[in-house]
C-alpha cells in the first residue's frame, strides 16, 4: 500500500466509533493483483498444505455430485456444485492461519493450520461458519423450489432432464432466474465474508463487527473488490473443469490471496 493512499474511514465520524473498530483502506486493482501474487507465493512455499485443503474441498464436491446422480436429485446437481462455493470462506480458515504465520515468520507446517482453534475469536468463526451453512441450505431450498415451480416434475433420466433444461422455454427461464438468484446469494456471501474470516483469525473481535467491517470494505472499494469477486468466480470455474481437478491448486491460491486482500483493505 502506498503512503499516498488514504482510508475510507476518515473525518469526524471516526471520533464517534469505537477505537477498536477496524479502519478500512481505499485500495486499487493493483492491490488485488499483488494479493494474488502473494497468494501464489504462499502456495509455492507451503504447497503440500494448500493441496490438502484443496483436495478435501474437491473430494467433498465430487461426493455431492455423486449423490445427486439419483434422478430425483438431478435438479440439485448445479445448485450443489455452485452453492458449495458459498462454504469456501469457512473451508479456507486454515489457509488464512498459514498465511498469517508465514507473514510473521512463524512455523507453517500442516498442523499449524489447526492452530486457529486456539484463537480468541474461534467462537465467532464457528458462528459465522454456521451462517454460511444456513445460507447454503437456503440456496438449495430456493433452487429446488424454483425448479418445481418452473419445470415441475423431473423428466425421465439425465437425457430428459438436460433436454428440459436446454431445449425448452421453461428450461431457459429456469437458467436465467436461477442464475440471477444464485448471483444474489453469492453477492451476500461475498459481502459478508470478503474479509470477516481473516479478520476473526487475526483479531479478537465479535462476528457481528467482523461482518460489518467486511460489508464496509466491499462498499468502500466497489471496483477492486468487484475485480476480486470476479477473480474468485473465474478461478472456481477454471478449477472445476474438468471434474474439479484444478481445485486443489486454485482454491488454496484463492484462500491465501484472500488473506493478503484483507491485509491491504484493513488498516493495521
DSSP letter assigned to residue 155: P
Inside any domain, residue 98? yes
213 has a pLDDT exceeding 50: yes
Inside any domain, residue 224? yes
Sequence-distant (6+) residues with CB within 8 A of 102 are: 42, 45, 46, 108
Residue 129 lies in domain: 25-265
Query: How many domains, the chain?
Result: 1
29-45 and 247-265 are packed helices; what angle lies between their axes, rounded to 10 degrees? 130
Inside any domain, residue 14? no
pTM to 2 decimal places? 0.84
Q: pLDDT of 235-256, one tens digit each? A: 988 888 777 778 888 989 999 9
Inside any domain, residue 139? yes
pLDDT band at 12 (very low <50, low <70, confident <90, very high): very low
Q: How far apart are CA 142 and CA 140, in angstroms?
A: 6
Inside any domain, residue 15? no
Sign of CA dihedral 22, 23, 24, 30: negative
Residue 20 confidence (pLDDT): 64
Q: Is 24 helix (H, G, I), strand (E, B) or coil?
A: strand
Residue 8 confidence (pLDDT): 52
Q: pLDDT of 108-157, one tens digit each? A: 888 888 899 999 899 999 999 999 999 999 999 999 999 999 998 877 77
Q: pLDDT of 58-80, one tens digit each? A: 777 777 677 666 667 778 888 98
Closest to 201 (Cα-Cα) out of 185, 190, 214, 191 = 214
Amino acid at each position: 500500500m502506498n503512503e499516498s493512499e488514504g482510508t475510507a474511514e476518515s473525518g469526524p465520524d471516526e471520533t464517534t466509533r469505537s477505537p477498536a473498530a477496524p479502519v478500512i483502506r481505499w485500495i486499487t486493482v493493483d492491490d488485488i493483483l499483488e494479493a494474488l501474487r502473494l497468494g501464489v507465493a504462499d502456495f509455492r512455499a507451503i504447497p503440500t498444505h494448500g493441496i490438502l485443503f484443496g483436495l478435501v474441498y474437491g473430494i467433498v464436491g465430487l461426493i455431492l455430485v455423486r449423490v445427486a446422480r439419483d434422478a430425483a436429485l438431478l435438479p440439485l446437481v448445479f445448485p450443489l456444485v455452485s452453492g458449495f462455493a458459498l462454504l469456501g470462506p469457512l473451508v479456507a480458515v486454515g489457509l488464512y492461519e498459514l498465511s498469517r504465520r508465514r507473514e510473521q515468520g512463524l512455523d507453517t507446517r500442516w498442523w499449524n493450520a489447526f492452530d486457529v482453534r486456539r484463537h480468541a475469536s474461534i467462537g465467532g468463526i464457528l458462528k459465522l461458519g454456521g451462517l454460511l451453512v444456513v445460507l447454503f441450505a437456503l440456496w438449495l431450498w430456493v433452487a429446488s423450489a424454483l425448479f418445481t415451480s418452473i419445470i415441475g416434475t423431473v423428466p425421465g433420466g439425465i437425457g430428459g432432464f438436460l433436454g428440459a433444461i436446454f431445449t425448452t422455454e421453461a428450461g431457459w427461464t429456469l437458467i436465467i432466474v436461477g442464475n440471477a438468484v444464485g448471483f444474489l446469494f453469492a453477492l451476500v456471501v461475498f459481502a459478508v465474508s470478503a474479509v470477516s474470516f481473516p479478520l476473526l483469525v487475526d483479531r479478537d473481535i465479535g462476528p457481528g463487527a467482523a461482518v460489518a467491517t467486511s460489508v464496509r470494505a466491499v462498499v468502500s472499494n466497489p471496483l477492486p473488490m468487484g475485480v476480486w469477486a470476479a477473480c474468485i468466480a473465474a478461478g472456481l470455474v477454471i478449477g472445476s473443469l474438468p471434474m474439479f481437478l484444478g481445485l486443489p491448486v486454485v482454491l488454496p491460491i484463492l484462500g491465501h490471496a484472500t488473506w493478503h486482500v484483507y491485509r491491504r483493505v484493513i488498516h493495521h
